[in-house]
Amino acid sequence: MNNRDKLITDKLKELSTSKFRSSFHLRKYMIEYINEKGMDTVKKHTVDFIEQKLSPAYPNNDGKQTPMKGHPTFIAQHACACCCRGCLEKWHHIPKGKELSRNEKNYIYLLLIKWIENEYKKSTIN
């Protein structure tokens, strides 16, 4: 396991200890969406959502920009504390008020996708 994978695994473990963060799970219609559209589409959407909703130094409606339902990535953003710049600062030590770097965006992307993949695997086992 490389350093990046360990960082992602450790952060997911930490987030799972939060009652609020651990209450998020992919719903049946989200699993069906992934089955229909494919994980590649979800990954592309995840990149777009990070770029549009998190990357700017001062995102529109910061703190309210991520819906609590709908797309698998939205649920992952709440579960992983990547839903707004305040949560990014609190949980991931990524400061508000500056545009996200390429490395920060990549970290967020990897975290969200790993969470989605883990949830998807759990759903196919049950």
58 pLDDT above the threshold of 70:
yes
pLDDT in tens, 60-105: 888 888 888 889 999 999 999 999 999 999 999 999 999 999 999 9
Q: Which domain range does residue 72 map to?
A: 3-125
pLDDT in tens, 22-42: 999 999 999 999 999 999 999
What does DSSP assign to residue 62? T
Give how many domains the chain has, as a whole number.
1
Judging by beta carbons within 10 Å of its beta carbon (0-12, 13-18, 19+), is residue 5 exposed, middle or buried? exposed
Closest CA to 87 of 95, 98, 97, 76: 95
